[in-house]
Chain A
Amino acid sequence: MKPVNLYGTQVGTRGPLPVPPSEQGQPVIIMPASSGYGLQAAVMYADIIIAMPSSIEEGRAQRQAIRQAAAQAGRNPEDIKYLAFAGFTTGDTERDALDTRLALDAHTDIRGPLARLSAYLGLQQQLTRPDEPLTTAQLTAVQAHPQDARSIRAVELAHAGWSPRDILAHAVFDPYPSVVGTAGQVADHLQEWFKAGAADGFMLNFDDFSTEIGNFVEQVIPVLRERGIFHNTYEGKTLRDHVGVPPQYGVNPRITTGPQ
């Protein structure tokens, strides 16, 4: 055991810390995706970076930018895992999944989301009939904002004949890309992003933990395993093993940049 004697301008320590190594040495470091100062810090310290890209293109671009910055900081880009937020509600059919979501949405005021949907569909006039598919005139008028993944998705759903309430139940305005549908549709989303290099994995969000974590485990995981894109069981014991990041004990000696 050795003292640390490390002092910065804001914090410092003499040390040592009398806690022995764990089975993985020390905790894995996770940081949020950011830009500027935040990106610089994340590529220096993080094993896992968690991000909220709204499309495959955005995920790929951000993952690439992180890998490049990591190499510049003296890290192997393979040692940083980029995870994208994603949300899911599953059902035996898409209709079942939508009804599950609608049971939750029923407790919230639809007026705000409806006004927002009208704007995202590029409509001059507010939608007033939440349970009727858009009229032919409305469908002629809708126009997606070309840079906005949510707007593009809302327009697709309108053209597919879903009512405004059902479009909203597809979780188009959740803060991250979400799928409300069958286990196959959920697996398709994960596979498409993963195979496109838009993420090394995902931070899963579920509307209702009490039912949806179990649904995902029982219905989606087997599909991912069948497709060869998720492990069959834990191969190792530690979090470091589970996510495939290298051993580290103490400060990473490969980091070349000190405090800025």
Chain B
Amino acid sequence: MNSEHMILGVALTNSFGAHPAAWRLPHVNPEAYTDIDVTVEHARTAERGGLQFVFIADRLFLHGDLAVSNPLFNMDPIVTLSAVAQATERIGLAGTASTSFFEPYLLARQLKTLDVISNGRVGWNAVPSFEPDAFANFGKEPPAREKKYERLHEVMQVVQALWGSWGYEAGKPDQQEGTPIRHM
């Protein structure tokens, strides 16, 4: 990567395309929104072109113009990217996860697991949710803006501290010596 070169990511927000009518094109499988092979194929095409990453946006509620097309954000981005990770080698895998609802231990664990199994290709789009519909799905009222960002700051720092808690100095397990990693 040098600064003479631009970075290109591709948004794969649903399985069809950015146009709400993409699913109606005759060459498109209208059931692709649950077909992981379709998402994998898009990611492999992008990888063939050397694109730096695929990106999956997310919202945590039924969303979209349902009179025209299926809901936009139906499948979970992190689970989807786990499958894409196994079917690709180099392209980055960027997924959205809200900072507003999940405990940082869970976020840190899922995202770092995905990062380890993809050999270091993960990007986390960390966003605070703002929509009342999303909070309703967690049985909550939307907080004031400053409380929302207070939580974001805490979540970011706790997640990153957890990521750093298995230090490089822990080393690797040694089969010959019968020593696991250094736990403390």
Chain A residues close to B by CB (< 8 Å): 1-4, 6, 8-13, 15-32, 36-38, 40-41, 44-48, 50, 78, 81, 83, 85, 87, 101, 103-108, 174, 190, 194, 199-214, 216-218, 221, 224, 228-244, 248-252, 258-260
Measured between beta carbons, the chain B residues less than 8 angstroms from A20 are 116, 166, 170, 181
Contact across chains for B68 and A108 when beta carbons are under 8 A apart: yes
- A18, A107, A239, A260: most-surrounded residue (chain B CB, <10 A): A239
Contact across chains for A31 and B157 when beta carbons are under 8 A apart: no
Given contacts A48-B123, A217-B49, contact A17 B157 (CB under 8 A): no
Complex CA gap A167/B111 in Å reads 43
Contact across chains for B152 and A214 when beta carbons are under 8 A apart: no
**Nearest-CB distance from B26 to chain A (Å)?**
9
Contact across chains for A208 and B28 when beta carbons are under 8 A apart: yes
**Nearest-CB distance from B155 to chain A (Å)?**
6
Measured between beta carbons, the chain B residues less than 8 angstroms from A174 are 18
**Nearest-CB distance from B128 to chain A (Å)?**
8
Given contacts A26-B163, A41-B152, A232-B50, contact A32 B146 (CB under 8 A): no
* A3 partner, pick from B105, B128, B165, beta carbons under 8 A: B165
* B55 partner, pick from A37, A107, A203, A259, beta carbons under 8 A: A203
Seed contacts A228-B4, A241-B1; 16 additional CB < 8 Å A-B pairs: A1-B181, A11-B104, A20-B170, A22-B120, A24-B122, A28-B92, A28-B123, A36-B145, A107-B24, A206-B17, A214-B45, A217-B45, A233-B50, A234-B90, A244-B3, A250-B161
Which A residue sits closest to B1, measured CB to CB?
Answer: A244
* A229 partner, pick from B5, B147, B161, beta carbons under 8 A: B5
Measured between beta carbons, the chain A residues less than 8 angstroms from B2 are 244
Contact across chains for A37 and B7 when beta carbons are under 8 A apart: no
Interface membership of B87, Cβ < 8 A:
no
Contact across chains for B155 and A242 when beta carbons are under 8 A apart: no
Contact across chains for B25 and A201 when beta carbons are under 8 A apart: no
Interface residues of B, CB < 8 Å — how many?
Answer: 90
Measured between beta carbons, the chain B residues less than 8 angstroms from A234 are 50, 90
Interface membership of B113, Cβ < 8 A:
yes
* B17 partner, pick from A24, A212, A240, beta carbons under 8 A: A212
Contact across chains for A229 and B25 when beta carbons are under 8 A apart: no
Complex CA gap A4/B162 in Å reads 6
- A106, A206, A210, A259: most-surrounded residue (chain B CB, <10 A): A210
5 contacts between A and B (CB under 8 A): A29-B124, A32-B127, A44-B156, A45-B126, A229-B4
Measured between beta carbons, the chain B residues less than 8 angstroms from A106 are 21
Complex CA gap A229/B112 in Å reads 32
Contact across chains for B7 and A2 when beta carbons are under 8 A apart: no
Complex CA gap A212/B28 in Å reads 12
Interface membership of B9, Cβ < 8 A:
yes
Contact across chains for B125 and A17 when beta carbons are under 8 A apart: no
* B122 partner, pick from A32, A78, A239, beta carbons under 8 A: A239
Contact across chains for B120 and A224 when beta carbons are under 8 A apart: no
Measured between beta carbons, the chain B residues less than 8 angstroms from A78 are 3
* B94 partner, pick from A30, A108, A209, A240, beta carbons under 8 A: A30
Contact across chains for B94 and A24 when beta carbons are under 8 A apart: no
**Nearest-CB distance from A155 to chain B (Å)?**
24
Interface membership of B11, Cβ < 8 A:
yes
Measured between beta carbons, the chain A residues less than 8 angstroms from B166 are 1, 16-21
Given contacts A22-B116, A22-B122, A217-B45, contact A208 B6 (CB under 8 A): no
Contact across chains for B113 and A19 when beta carbons are under 8 A apart: yes
